[in-house]
Amino acid sequence: MSVPILSVHNLDYKYTQAPVLKNINMDIHEGAFVGLVGPNGSGKTTLIRLLLGIQRIQSGNIELFGTPIQKFKKWNKISFVSQKANTFNKGFPATVYEVVSMGLTSKKGYLSFFTKKDKEKIIAAINSVGMGDYVHQNIGDLSGGQQQRVFIARSLVSDPELIILDEPTVGVDTENVERFYNMLSRLNKERGITLLLVSHDIGTITSYVTDLLCLNKTIHYHGDPKTFQQKSDEELSNFYGHSMHSITHQH
Ligand SMILES: Nc1ncnc2c1ncn2[C@@H]1O[C@H](COP(=O)(O)OP(=O)(O)OP(=O)(O)O)[C@@H](O)[C@H]1O
Ligand SMILES: [Mg+2]
């Protein structure tokens, strides 16, 4: 198999005395669409922040594209979409085009001008999330789900190889959540972009992801989502905690 694009070995982490992550070991290979699930406080966001270098690792190690995170410099290979990105108010003075173009300025620097090719890229990214009709609309006038699609477009213009999304569909209605996951699935299948998606919605994401990762301080399951769903209630509660059964059997 190819070198994993993301690899975690023996990772432990604590903010204070109590460990938040314990003995995390995982590999994510190119082309995977990984769903990361776990109850509130199970360490999902902490793990993501460590993977993105926002928080420093304390013990164990992380390799990104084969390079130890301490030496990793090619951050433009990785994009991040957070739940909190979704905070534009009505009247925020930026159009969809301008918001998406910000995904390039971080790569090019704020004072550089966009070339024709950059502009085409920005429009292509907007089209790929189905927001082509809204290019010149103000971002604040869009619905939450539409805004979130714009943030995905922003994360796409820099041509990332890996997109990490931390609960991007909070506040998005069911129909648009399905659309959103379909869009992610297309990016994964058609453009080969590797995805790591944090979600509480295990019942829905199992039909989209290639790998399911269940975290509760430590990794309780990493593998085929269908095998996970076939497990008995007892096994599921051992893996995950009691809140799990009804959710996994929704579909
Ligand atoms: N900055 C911080 N300082 C101290 N403790 C923290 C901090 N951030 C998170 N924690 C604690 O670490 C644990 C894991 O939090 P984390 O945010 O990683 O969980 P999560 O799985 O993302 O939860 P959620 O599903 O609610 O988003 C929790 O017990 C939380 O209280
Ligand atoms: Mg979180």
- Rounded to the nearest angstrom, the distance between the alpha carbon of 123 and the centre of ligand 2 is 31
In whole angstroms, what is the distance from residue 81 CA to residue 156 CA?
10
Q: Which ligand is nearest to the CA of 166?
A: 2
Say if ligand 1 is within 6 A of residue 44 CB. yes
Taking a C-beta distance cutoff of 8 angstroms, is the pair 96, 136 a contact? yes
Q: DSSP of 175-226, one letter per residue?
A: HHHHHHHHHHHHHHHHH--EEEEE-S-HHHHTTT-SEEEEEESEEEEEE-HH
Its sign, for the CA torsion 221, 6, 186, 143, is positive
pLDDT in tens, the chain (251 residues): 577 999 999 999 999 999 999 999 999 999 999 999 998 999 999 999 999 999 999 999 999 999 999 999 999 899 998 876 556 666 778 999 999 998 887 666 655 678 899 999 999 999 988 899 999 999 988 887 788 889 888 988 888 999 999 988 876 777 778 888 888 998 899 989 999 999 988 888 889 999 999 999 999 999 998 888 777 677 767 666 655 544 554 44
Helices then strands, counting H and E runs in the chain, come out as 9, 10
Taking a C-beta distance cutoff of 8 angstroms, is the pair 195, 33 a contact? yes
Structural Rg of the chain based on CA atoms = 18
In whole angstroms, what is the distance from residue 64 CA to residue 154 CA?
22
Say if ligand 1 is within 6 A of residue 199 CB. no
Can you give the pLDDT at residue 113?
Answer: 76
Give the position, in ligand 1's atom list, of the atom nearest the Cα of 42: 21
CA distances from 20 to 115, 217, 243 (A): 45, 6, 20
Residues with CB in 5 Å of ion ligand 2: 44-45
Would you say the pTM of this structure is higher than 0.85?
yes
In whole angstroms, what is the distance from residue 62 CA to residue 66 CA?
9
